[in-house]
Protein backbone atom coordinates (compact mmCIF):
# COMPACT_ATOMS: atom_id res chain seq x y z
CA UNK A 1 0.00 0.00 0.00
CA UNK A 2 2.72 2.39 1.00
CA UNK A 3 4.60 1.69 -2.18
CA UNK A 4 1.55 2.25 -4.32
CA UNK A 5 0.92 5.62 -2.75
CA UNK A 6 4.51 6.64 -3.10
CA UNK A 7 4.89 5.68 -6.72
CA UNK A 8 1.48 7.00 -7.74
CA UNK A 9 2.18 10.38 -6.20
CA UNK A 10 5.53 10.38 -7.85
CA UNK A 11 4.13 9.46 -11.26
CA UNK A 12 1.63 12.28 -10.96
CA UNK A 13 4.26 14.87 -10.12
CA UNK A 14 6.42 13.53 -12.88
CA UNK A 15 3.79 13.52 -15.59
CA UNK A 16 2.51 16.96 -14.71
CA UNK A 17 6.00 18.36 -14.85
CA UNK A 18 6.13 19.76 -11.35
CA UNK A 19 9.82 18.93 -11.30
CA UNK A 20 10.49 20.95 -14.39
CA UNK A 21 12.70 23.98 -14.31
CA UNK A 22 11.74 27.55 -15.01
CA UNK A 23 10.94 27.16 -18.69
CA UNK A 24 11.97 30.71 -19.60
CA UNK A 25 15.54 29.79 -18.79
CA UNK A 26 15.57 26.54 -20.74
CA UNK A 27 17.57 26.49 -23.93
CA UNK A 28 17.14 23.86 -26.60
CA UNK A 29 20.45 22.30 -27.58
CA UNK A 30 20.74 20.52 -30.91
CA UNK A 31 23.17 17.63 -31.31
CA UNK A 32 23.90 16.25 -34.76
CA UNK A 33 23.89 12.47 -34.40
CA UNK A 34 24.63 11.70 -38.04
CA UNK A 35 23.56 13.04 -41.44
CA UNK A 36 19.93 14.19 -41.20
CA UNK A 37 19.44 12.73 -37.71
CA UNK A 38 19.44 14.98 -34.65
CA UNK A 39 18.88 14.88 -30.92
CA UNK A 40 17.61 17.89 -28.99
CA UNK A 41 17.88 18.50 -25.26
CA UNK A 42 15.96 21.08 -23.25
CA UNK A 43 13.88 20.16 -20.20
CA UNK A 44 12.25 16.75 -20.12
CA UNK A 45 12.84 13.87 -22.48
CA UNK A 46 15.37 14.00 -25.28
CA UNK A 47 13.90 14.67 -28.72
CA UNK A 48 14.92 12.76 -31.85
CA UNK A 49 14.55 14.01 -35.41
CA UNK A 50 14.87 12.80 -38.96
CA UNK A 51 14.93 15.53 -41.57
CA UNK A 52 15.00 15.20 -45.33
CA UNK A 53 13.14 15.53 -48.59
CA UNK A 54 9.85 14.28 -47.16
CA UNK A 55 9.81 16.56 -44.14
CA UNK A 56 10.44 16.27 -40.44
CA UNK A 57 9.83 13.22 -38.25
CA UNK A 58 9.90 14.22 -34.58
CA UNK A 59 10.15 11.99 -31.53
CA UNK A 60 8.61 13.46 -28.35
CA UNK A 61 7.97 17.12 -27.49
CA UNK A 62 8.93 17.85 -23.84
CA UNK A 63 6.68 20.44 -22.11
CA UNK A 64 4.06 22.75 -23.60
CA UNK A 65 5.84 26.02 -22.62
CA UNK A 66 8.84 24.87 -24.70
CA UNK A 67 7.00 24.30 -27.98
CA UNK A 68 7.92 27.68 -29.45
CA UNK A 69 11.59 27.18 -28.65
CA UNK A 70 11.55 23.63 -29.99
CA UNK A 71 9.93 24.73 -33.25
CA UNK A 72 12.51 27.51 -33.63
CA UNK A 73 15.31 24.98 -33.13
CA UNK A 74 13.78 22.63 -35.69
CA UNK A 75 13.38 25.46 -38.18
CA UNK A 76 17.14 25.99 -38.12
CA UNK A 77 17.50 22.43 -39.45
CA UNK A 78 14.58 22.35 -41.86
CA UNK A 79 11.80 24.67 -42.94
CA UNK A 80 9.73 21.71 -44.15
CA UNK A 81 6.59 20.66 -42.34
CA UNK A 82 6.71 18.33 -39.36
CA UNK A 83 4.79 15.39 -40.78
CA UNK A 84 4.79 13.11 -37.78
CA UNK A 85 5.20 13.43 -34.05
CA UNK A 86 5.90 10.10 -32.40
CA UNK A 87 5.38 9.72 -28.62
CA UNK A 88 7.68 7.13 -27.02
CA UNK A 89 5.32 6.93 -24.00
CA UNK A 90 2.67 8.96 -22.18
CA UNK A 91 4.67 10.96 -19.61
CA UNK A 92 4.17 14.71 -19.59
CA UNK A 93 7.84 15.49 -20.13
CA UNK A 94 7.59 13.69 -23.50
CA UNK A 95 4.02 14.60 -24.54
CA UNK A 96 3.55 18.04 -22.98
CA UNK A 97 3.72 19.76 -26.36
CA UNK A 98 1.17 17.45 -27.98
CA UNK A 99 -1.72 19.88 -27.90
CA UNK A 100 0.36 22.71 -29.36
CA UNK A 101 1.60 20.48 -32.17
CA UNK A 102 -1.75 18.79 -32.71
CA UNK A 103 -3.23 22.27 -33.13
CA UNK A 104 -0.88 22.74 -36.05
CA UNK A 105 -2.27 19.65 -37.73
CA UNK A 106 0.76 17.49 -37.08
CA UNK A 107 -0.06 13.78 -37.07
CA UNK A 108 0.61 12.23 -33.67
CA UNK A 109 1.42 8.53 -33.45
CA UNK A 110 1.93 6.32 -30.40
CA UNK A 111 1.35 2.88 -28.94
CA UNK A 112 -2.24 1.97 -28.07
CA UNK A 113 -1.55 2.24 -24.33
CA UNK A 114 -0.21 5.78 -24.71
CA UNK A 115 -3.55 6.77 -26.17
CA UNK A 116 -5.38 5.10 -23.31
CA UNK A 117 -3.28 6.84 -20.67
CA UNK A 118 -3.52 10.25 -22.33
CA UNK A 119 -7.26 9.92 -22.80
CA UNK A 120 -8.60 11.95 -19.90
CA UNK A 121 -11.49 13.30 -21.97
CA UNK A 122 -9.99 16.80 -21.92
CA UNK A 123 -7.28 16.68 -24.53
CA UNK A 124 -8.80 17.51 -27.89
CA UNK A 125 -6.01 18.21 -30.33
CA UNK A 126 -3.04 16.53 -28.67
CA UNK A 127 -4.22 12.94 -28.79
CA UNK A 128 -2.50 10.45 -31.08
CA UNK A 129 -4.52 9.97 -34.26
CA UNK A 130 -2.77 6.73 -35.21
CA UNK A 131 -1.99 4.05 -32.65
CA UNK A 132 -0.48 0.60 -33.02
CA UNK A 133 -0.02 -2.47 -30.87
CA UNK A 134 3.31 -3.97 -31.86
CA UNK A 135 5.39 -2.47 -34.66
CA UNK A 136 5.03 0.32 -37.18
CA UNK A 137 7.33 1.41 -40.01
CA UNK A 138 7.53 4.87 -41.58
CA UNK A 139 9.04 5.16 -45.05
CA UNK A 140 10.35 8.67 -45.44
CA UNK A 141 13.50 10.69 -46.00
CA UNK A 142 15.01 7.74 -47.83
CA UNK A 143 15.13 5.52 -44.76
CA UNK A 144 12.93 3.18 -42.78
CA UNK A 145 11.93 4.49 -39.37
CA UNK A 146 10.93 1.41 -37.45
CA UNK A 147 9.10 1.69 -34.17
CA UNK A 148 8.68 -1.23 -31.84
CA UNK A 149 6.75 -1.66 -28.63
CA UNK A 150 8.16 -3.15 -25.44
CA UNK A 151 5.53 -4.16 -22.98
CA UNK A 152 5.86 -3.30 -19.31
CA UNK A 153 9.28 -1.63 -19.31
CA UNK A 154 9.37 2.06 -18.26
CA UNK A 155 5.55 2.08 -18.70
CA UNK A 156 3.10 -0.21 -20.49
CA UNK A 157 3.27 1.87 -23.68
CA UNK A 158 6.97 2.21 -24.48
CA UNK A 159 8.34 2.27 -27.99
CA UNK A 160 11.86 2.40 -29.30
CA UNK A 161 12.51 3.98 -32.70
CA UNK A 162 15.18 2.72 -35.10
CA UNK A 163 16.40 5.02 -37.83
CA UNK A 164 17.35 2.17 -40.16
CA UNK A 165 20.10 3.04 -42.61
CA UNK A 166 21.37 5.69 -40.20
CA UNK A 167 22.22 3.24 -37.44
CA UNK A 168 20.62 5.37 -34.74
CA UNK A 169 18.06 4.28 -32.15
CA UNK A 170 15.92 6.37 -29.78
CA UNK A 171 15.19 4.34 -26.64
CA UNK A 172 12.70 6.59 -24.89
CA UNK A 173 12.73 6.31 -21.11
CA UNK A 174 13.77 2.68 -21.17
CA UNK A 175 17.18 4.35 -20.95
CA UNK A 176 18.16 7.03 -18.43
CA UNK A 177 21.77 7.17 -19.54
CA UNK A 178 24.29 7.47 -16.68
CA UNK A 179 21.53 7.61 -14.06
CA UNK A 180 19.10 5.46 -12.11
CA UNK A 181 16.02 4.92 -14.27
CA UNK A 182 12.50 5.78 -13.21
CA UNK A 183 10.21 2.76 -13.47
CA UNK A 184 6.55 3.79 -13.57
CA UNK A 185 5.00 0.74 -11.90
CA UNK A 186 1.49 2.25 -11.58
CA UNK A 187 1.84 3.12 -15.29
CA UNK A 188 2.40 -0.53 -16.16
CA UNK A 189 6.20 -0.54 -16.04
CA UNK A 190 8.52 -3.04 -14.39
CA UNK A 191 12.21 -3.23 -13.60
CA UNK A 192 12.34 -6.69 -15.16
CA UNK A 193 10.78 -5.29 -18.33
CA UNK A 194 13.38 -2.52 -18.56
CA UNK A 195 16.13 -5.12 -18.33
CA UNK A 196 14.47 -7.30 -20.97
CA UNK A 197 14.02 -4.39 -23.37
CA UNK A 198 17.63 -3.25 -23.01
CA UNK A 199 18.92 -6.80 -23.46
CA UNK A 200 16.81 -7.28 -26.57
CA UNK A 201 18.08 -4.00 -28.02
CA UNK A 202 21.72 -4.89 -27.29
CA UNK A 203 21.24 -8.01 -29.41
CA UNK A 204 20.04 -5.97 -32.38
CA UNK A 205 22.52 -3.11 -32.58
CA UNK A 206 26.23 -3.01 -33.41
CA UNK A 207 29.31 -1.21 -32.13
CA UNK A 208 28.67 1.76 -34.42
CA UNK A 209 25.03 2.29 -33.40
CA UNK A 210 24.31 5.61 -31.72
CA UNK A 211 21.78 5.46 -28.92
CA UNK A 212 19.58 8.41 -27.99
CA UNK A 213 18.35 7.85 -24.42
CA UNK A 214 15.12 9.28 -23.03
CA UNK A 215 17.25 11.20 -20.54
CA UNK A 216 20.99 11.81 -20.33
CA UNK A 217 23.67 12.24 -22.98
CA UNK A 218 23.86 10.53 -26.36
CA UNK A 219 25.50 7.13 -26.06
CA UNK A 220 26.30 3.97 -28.02
CA UNK A 221 26.25 0.21 -27.65
CA UNK A 222 29.12 0.26 -25.15
CA UNK A 223 27.25 2.82 -23.04
CA UNK A 224 24.05 0.80 -23.23
CA UNK A 225 25.95 -2.29 -22.15
CA UNK A 226 27.23 -0.47 -19.06
CA UNK A 227 23.67 0.66 -18.25
CA UNK A 228 22.47 -2.93 -18.61
CA UNK A 229 25.28 -4.34 -16.49
CA UNK A 230 24.56 -1.86 -13.68
CA UNK A 231 20.83 -2.60 -13.70
CA UNK A 232 21.48 -6.34 -13.80
CA UNK A 233 23.86 -6.03 -10.86
CA UNK A 234 21.20 -4.06 -8.97
CA UNK A 235 18.69 -6.81 -9.63
CA UNK A 236 21.20 -9.40 -8.44
CA UNK A 237 21.85 -7.40 -5.26
CA UNK A 238 18.21 -6.71 -4.39
CA UNK A 239 16.63 -10.07 -5.28
CA UNK A 240 18.24 -12.13 -2.47
CA UNK A 241 17.29 -9.42 0.04
CA UNK A 242 13.70 -9.51 -1.17
CA UNK A 243 13.75 -13.31 -0.95
CA UNK A 244 14.63 -13.00 2.74
CA UNK A 245 11.37 -11.09 3.09
CA UNK A 246 12.94 -7.88 4.38
CA UNK A 247 10.70 -4.84 4.51
CA UNK A 248 11.63 -1.87 2.38
CA UNK A 249 12.86 0.01 5.46
CA UNK A 250 15.00 -2.94 6.55
CA UNK A 251 16.37 -3.37 3.04
CA UNK A 252 17.27 0.33 2.84
CA UNK A 253 19.20 0.08 6.11
CA UNK A 254 21.59 -2.35 4.43
CA UNK A 255 22.46 0.40 1.92
CA UNK A 256 22.73 -2.27 -0.76
CA UNK A 257 23.22 0.17 -3.66
CA UNK A 258 25.77 2.35 -1.90
CA UNK A 259 28.41 1.76 -4.55
CA UNK A 260 26.17 3.22 -7.26
CA UNK A 261 24.40 6.03 -5.42
CA UNK A 262 27.01 8.73 -6.01
CA UNK A 263 27.31 8.09 -9.73
CA UNK A 264 23.74 7.16 -10.59
CA UNK A 265 21.65 8.88 -7.93
CA UNK A 266 22.23 12.46 -9.05
CA UNK A 267 19.84 12.37 -11.99
CA UNK A 268 16.09 12.27 -12.07
CA UNK A 269 15.95 9.55 -9.41
CA UNK A 270 17.49 10.17 -6.02
CA UNK A 271 18.85 7.00 -4.36
CA UNK A 272 16.00 6.73 -1.84
CA UNK A 273 13.20 7.00 -4.39
CA UNK A 274 14.98 4.65 -6.76
CA UNK A 275 15.46 1.84 -4.27
CA UNK A 276 11.92 2.32 -2.94
CA UNK A 277 10.40 1.75 -6.37
CA UNK A 278 12.73 -0.98 -7.59
CA UNK A 279 12.96 -2.98 -4.36
CA UNK A 280 9.18 -3.14 -4.01
CA UNK A 281 8.76 -4.03 -7.69
CA UNK A 282 11.24 -6.91 -7.31
CA UNK A 283 9.68 -7.89 -3.97
CA UNK A 284 6.15 -7.98 -5.40
CA UNK A 285 7.17 -10.02 -8.44
CA UNK A 286 9.50 -12.60 -6.90
CA UNK A 287 7.46 -15.58 -8.02
CA UNK A 288 6.50 -14.28 -11.43
Compare residues 96 and 223 and give the one whose CB is closer to Zn ion.
96
What's the min distance (Å) between Cβ of 130 and Zn ion? 21
Residue (173 or 281) nearer to Zn ion, CB: 173
Binding of Zn ion by 61 (CB under 5 A) = no
Name the minimum Å distance from CB 145 to Zn ion: 21
Q: Which is nearer to Zn ion, 94 or 166 (CB)?
A: 94
Closest CB 45 distance from Zn ion, rounded Å: 6
Total residues at interface with Zn ion (CB under 5 A): 2
Q: What is the 3-state secondary structure (H, E, C) of the chain?
A: CHHHHHHHHHHHHHHHCCCCCCHHHCCCEEEEEECCEEEEECCCCCEEEECCCCCEEEECCCCHHHHHHHHHHHHHHCCCCEEEEECCCCCHHHHCCHHHHHHCCCEEEEEHHHHHHHCCCCCCCCCCCEEECCEEEEEECCEEEEEEEECCCCCCCEEEEEEECCCEEECHHHCECCCCCCCCCCCCCCHHHHHHHHHHHHCCCCCCCEEECCECCCEEHHHHHHHHHHHHHHHHHHHHHHHCCCCHHHHHHCCCCHHHHHHHCCCCCCHHHHHHHHHHHHHHCCCC
Residues 157 and 113 sit within 8 Å (Cβ to Cβ): yes
Q: Which of 61, 158, 173, 178 binds Zn ion (CB under 5 A)?
A: 173
Judged by CB under 5 A, the stretch of 79-87, 95-103, 113-121, 172-180 that binds Zn ion is 172-180
Only segment of 24-32, 86-94, 200-208, 252-260 that touches Zn ion (CB under 5 A): 86-94
C-beta of 4 vs 19, nearer to Zn ion: 19
**For Zn ion, the closer CB: 59 or 242:** 59
Among 91, 117, 151, 166, binds Zn ion (CB under 5 A): 91
CA distance 264 to 178: 6
Task: Name which of 157 and 223 has its Cβ closer to Zn ion.
Answer: 157
CB of 48 to Zn ion, least distance (A): 14
Does 111 help bind Zn ion (rule: CB under 5 A)?
Answer: no
Binding-residue pattern over the window 127 to 166 for Zn ion, x denoting contact by CB under 5 A = ----------------------------------------
Residues in contact with Zn ion by CB under 5 A are 91, 173
Amino acid sequence: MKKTLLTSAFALLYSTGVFAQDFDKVEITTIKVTDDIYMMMGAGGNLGLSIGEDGVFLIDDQYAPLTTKILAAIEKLSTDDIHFLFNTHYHGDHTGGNENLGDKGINIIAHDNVYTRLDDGKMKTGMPIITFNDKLTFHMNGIEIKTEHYHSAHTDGDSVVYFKGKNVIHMGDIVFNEAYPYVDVPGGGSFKGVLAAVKDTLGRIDDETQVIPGHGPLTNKAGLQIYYDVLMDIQNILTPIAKQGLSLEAAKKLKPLNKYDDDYGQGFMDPDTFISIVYMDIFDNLDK
